């Protein structure tokens, strides 16, 4: 009956009123002696999922989260918070939760997104990325993570890669693949899957980048949007951070940061007997897997969910895809095909701008 009630609530206009009433009820329970004030829920930016965040006019501030259970796994979110916080990982505390309805009250980490800090002060990048990489190392050292996470296995990798032909190629660019092209793509996908699966496996946040890290007054970075974490390849999060879909850094700088992280991971016992070339290949190919997936995800966010602003970030993602695939002989045929068949179609799209300069900062 609770599940049925939740589904009805999700599909009706009653949900916003029920959500606000629940938040008010929780605040009265949590702070029975606090003076009654008009409750104000200020909506914050939406993310790529179906969650909606609201900042409350409380002291201290809290966030109310409306996470429809038909789309979002609040149970896993709470489970991971309870797993990570005792280890000193800076994820927001859960103040109250109604898992069945997908209503949460959580700690407020503020508005200082890493993305905004880097855009306003690029010279701070070495210090800020240093902190982000130390936080990532702590995350990947989480003990017994395999017991609380599903595996990032071949099926999961393949399902993500399938978003590229399904949404970017077929739906967004309106290009029809022939059998030979599908076979070529599957061969490339298999290589990327094999590379991911041969890496040491750790806790993978799966969206560790500048929009999911917040600078706190303590100087540490708060980590959010971790509810889809899996047990998977060690290079996934580091390439997600350093080849960010919203920010770009020079290749040599990315290489140095990536190697620095590899050295830290080796010292921590997470990487053993891996030479530099193999590690960088893992890093590059994992990034290619992610960015092919992202081309599909951003296309789907626009076409299915009406979140068209993500299309503006596609040229930078295309740049990453071509730069990496052109670097390796095994991927050269794919790179050439992308340039000859897909790029001319992308160039006709209203969101397109020259991918070769995407992410560059003004001189």
pLDDT per residue as tens digits for the range 121-169: 999 999 999 999 999 999 999 988 999 999 999 999 999 999 999 999 9
Token couple for 305: 């969910």
Give whole-number Cα distances, 121 to 208, 247, 301, in Å: 20, 13, 30
DSSP character at residue 57: S
Residues of the chain short of pLDDT 50, as ranges, are 1-8, 10
**In the chain, what are the helix, strand and coil shares in percent, each to the nearest 5?**
55, 10, 35
Q: Domain segments of the chain: what residues? A: 2-107, 114-357
pTM: 0.92
114-357 belongs to which CATH class? alpha beta
| Nearest one of 169, 222, 272 to 63, comparing CA atoms | 222
The pLDDT, as a whole number, for residue 35 is 63
Write down the pLDDT at residue 17.
Answer: 87
Distance between terminal CA atoms of the chain?
61
Q: What is the pLDDT of residues 39-81, one digit of tens each?
A: 788 898 766 568 899 999 888 889 999 999 888 889 999 999 9
Q: What is the secondary structure of 185-237 as a DSSP string? A: HHHHHHHHHHHHHTS-EEEE-S--STTSEEE-TTSSEEE---TT-EEEETTHH
List helix spans (H) across 94-147: 114-120, 125-140
Q: What is the largest CA-CA distance in the chain?
A: 70
CATH topology of domain 2-107: Phosphorylase Kinase; domain 1 (3.30.200)
pLDDT of residue 46: 65
């Amino acid at each position: 009956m609770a599940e049925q009630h939740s589904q009805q609530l999700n599909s009706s206009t009653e949900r916003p009123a029920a959500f606000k009433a629940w938040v008010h009820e929780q605040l009265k329970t949590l702070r029975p002696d606090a003076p009654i004030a008009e409750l104000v829920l200020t909506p914050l930016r939406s993310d790529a999922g179906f969650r909606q965040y609201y900042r409350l006019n409380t002291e201290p501030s809290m966030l109310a989260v409306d996470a429809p259970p038909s789309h979002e796994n609040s149970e896993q979110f709470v489970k991971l918070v309870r797993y990570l916080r005792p280890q000193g990982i800076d994820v927001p505390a859960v103040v109250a939760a109604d898992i069945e309805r997908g209503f949460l009250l959580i700690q407020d980490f503020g508005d200082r997104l890493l993305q905004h800090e880097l855009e306003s002060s690029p010279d701070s990048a070495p210090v800020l990325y240093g902190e982000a990489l130390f936080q990532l190392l702590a995350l990947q050292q989480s003990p017994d993570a395999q017991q609380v996470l599903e595996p990032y296995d071949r099926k999961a990798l393949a399902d993500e890669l399938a978003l590229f032909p399904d949404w970017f190629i077929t739906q967004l660019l309106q290009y029809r693949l022939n059998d030979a092209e599908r076979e070529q793509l599957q061969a490339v996908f298999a290589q990327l899957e094999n590379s991911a699966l041969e890496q040491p496996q750790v806790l993978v946040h799966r969206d560790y980048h500048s929009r999911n890290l917040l600078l706190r007054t303590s100087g540490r970075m708060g980590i959010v949007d971790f509810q889809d974490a899996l047990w998977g390849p060690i290079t996934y999060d580091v390439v997600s951070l350093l080849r960010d879909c919203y920010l770009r850094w020079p290749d040599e700088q990315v290489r140095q940061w990536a190697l620095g992280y590899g050295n830290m991971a080796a010292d921590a016992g997470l990487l053993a007997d891996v030479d530099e070339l193999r590690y960088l290949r893992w890093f590059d190919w994992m990034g290619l897997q992610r960015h092919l997936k992202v081309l599909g995800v951003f296309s789907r966010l626009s076409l299915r969910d009406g979140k068209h602003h993500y299309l503006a970030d596609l040229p930078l993602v295309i740049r990453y895809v071509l730069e990496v695939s052109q670097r390796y002989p095994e991927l050269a045929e794919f790179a050439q095909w992308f340039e000859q068949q897909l790029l001319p179609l992308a160039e006709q799209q209203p969101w397109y701008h020259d991918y070769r300069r995407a992410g560059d900062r003004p001189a």
